[in-house]
DNA sequence: GTAACTGCAAAATATTTGCATCCTT
DNA sequence: AAGGATGCAAATATTTTGCAGTTAC
């Protein structure tokens, strides 16, 4: 039994060609992918709309999470820790290097809780730190 | 004599209506604004294109910086060094309502410090919380 | 006066939605 | 067989570009 298929099943999703292929891409690349990367790497085998819907579904199910970037695009990456449906949250901090523009998932740094003013009801929190990465600091 | 005009001049930019007004907006709001907020708050006095170009110019000149969010929107906020006159350094948490899409500056909620892994050298940190605001929660 | 800036129109790009058909279970 | 997933078409939304006219200096 294929491990990727299990992931889909565990999330209550049908195992389809597009989902298998896109999930495989994430495991192969072991990094963050943009929507465009996925289209490119699948040779347009799937409709653009399917890619949108697949990514959205994966995010909802906690299979992948979104990484904010400054260039008006969203990167997606596998949730490495146990993200669970419903309260999966991309709860680690992201770091964007000002020089090389790379985005890093700081998997071990969790977004701290903050107390919000009366009336605000939080669903998700994101924290992005910018600065210089290991490489560019030298 | 106007402080805002000085900022523009110091960056080598002509002092124009749109730039003055948009810069003023940032100082008035003392927080992050999305492109849409700016269009709304200027009563569409300026062309949408002008807003795009003005924001881009301000980013290039280091007057404002971009705050990435996971919902494919970018917030813009004054850079710290230009915020010297106010007591507020732009280090408060921002809240975006999922329903009405408004952005709130939670001035009293400061972005907590986080410890980064070895090698990362932070310059600025942003935290964006999404969920439902007071109004929309009802 | 000249270079820089803006507004308009339109192109290019990105995202969402409805619906008929096909596939997974 | 039934519900979910996909593809296509088209509607929306967002961002960029070219150019002519205007404004700041």
Q: Does A15 touch chain B (CB under 8 A)?
A: no
In which band, very low, low, confident or very high, does the pLDDT at B22 lie, cut at 50, 70 and 90? very high
User: Is residue B97 pLDDT above 60, yes or no?
Assistant: yes
Secondary structure letter of residue B25 according to DSSP: H
Q: For residue A25, give how far its alpha carbon lies from the nearest alpha carbon of chain B (Å).
A: 21
Among left, alpha and beta (phi > 0; psi -120 to 50; other), residue B50 is alpha
User: Is residue A13 pLDDT above 70, yes or no?
Assistant: yes
Contact B130, B98 (CB under 8 A): yes
Nearest CB neighbour to A66, from listed B70, B95, B131? B70
Contact A119, B128 (CB under 8 A): no
In which band, very low, low, confident or very high, does the pLDDT at A90 lie, cut at 50, 70 and 90? low
pLDDT in tens, B122-135: 988 888 888 888 88
Q: Per-residue pLDDT averaged across B12-19, rounded?
A: 96
In angstroms, the CA of B51 and the C1' of C5 are apart by 12
pLDDT in tens, B63-82: 998 888 877 788 998 876 44
Domain total for chain B?
1
Give the per-residue pLDDT at A83: 47
pLDDT in tens, A36-82: 999 999 988 999 999 999 999 999 998 998 888 877 788 898 876 54
Q: Does B104 touch chain A (CB under 8 A)?
A: yes
Q: Per-residue pLDDT averaged across A10-21, rounded?
A: 96
User: Is residue A89 pLDDT above 70, yes or no?
Assistant: no
Q: What is the mean pLDDT of chain A?
A: 86
User: Is residue A20 pLDDT above 80, yes or no?
Assistant: yes
Contact B50, B20 (CB under 8 A): no
Other Cβ atoms less than 10 A from the Cβ of B28: the count is 10
In which band, very low, low, confident or very high, does the pLDDT at B94 lie, cut at 50, 70 and 90? confident
Whole-number Å distance between alpha carbons of B70 and B128: 9
Q: Which domain holds residue B64?
A: 2-137
Of A1-5, A82-86, B97-101, B111-115, highest mean pLDDT: B111-115
A99 or B34: which leads in pLDDT: B34
Give the per-residue pLDDT at A85: 44
Give the per-residue pLDDT at A1: 56
Q: For residue A115, give how far its alpha carbon lies from the nearest alpha carbon of chain B (Å).
A: 7
Residues of B in contact with A116 (CB under 8 A): 93, 95, 106, 109, 129
Whole-number Å distance between alpha carbons of A93 and A111: 6
Q: Per-residue pLDDT averaged across A117-125, rounded?
A: 88
Beta-bridge partners for A66: A76
∠ CA A107-A36-B99, rounded to 5°: 70
How do beta strands A92-97 and A103-110 pair? antiparallel
Inter-chain CB proximity A127 and B104 less than 8 Å: no
pLDDT over 90 percentage in chain B:
38
Residue B42 burial class via C-beta count within 10 angstroms: exposed 0-12, middle 13-18, buried 19 and up:
middle
In which band, very low, low, confident or very high, does the pLDDT at B30 lie, cut at 50, 70 and 90? low
Give the per-residue pLDDT at B90: 57
* CATH number of the CATH domain containing B57: 1.10.10.10
Name the residue of chain A whose CA is nearest to B123's CA: A131
Give the per-residue pLDDT at B126: 85
């Amino acid at each position: 039994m294929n491990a990727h298929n299990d992931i889909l099943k565990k999330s209550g999703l049908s195992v389809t060609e597009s989902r298998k292929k896109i999930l495989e891409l994430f495991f192969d690349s072991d990094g963050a992918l943009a929507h465009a990367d996925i289209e490119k790497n699948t040779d347009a085998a799937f409709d653009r709309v399917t890619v949108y819907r697949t990514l959205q579904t994966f995010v909802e199910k906690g299979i992948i999470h979104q990484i904010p970037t400054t260039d008006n695009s969203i990167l997606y990456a596998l949730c490495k820790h146990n993200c669970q449906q419903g309260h999966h949250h991309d709860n680690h901090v992201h770091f964007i290097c000002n020089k090389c523009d790379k985005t890093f998932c700081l998997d071990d740094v969790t977004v701290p809780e903050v107390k919000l003013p009366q009336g605000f009801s939080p669903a998700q929190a994101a924290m992005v730190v910018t600065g210089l990465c290991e490489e560019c600091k030298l």
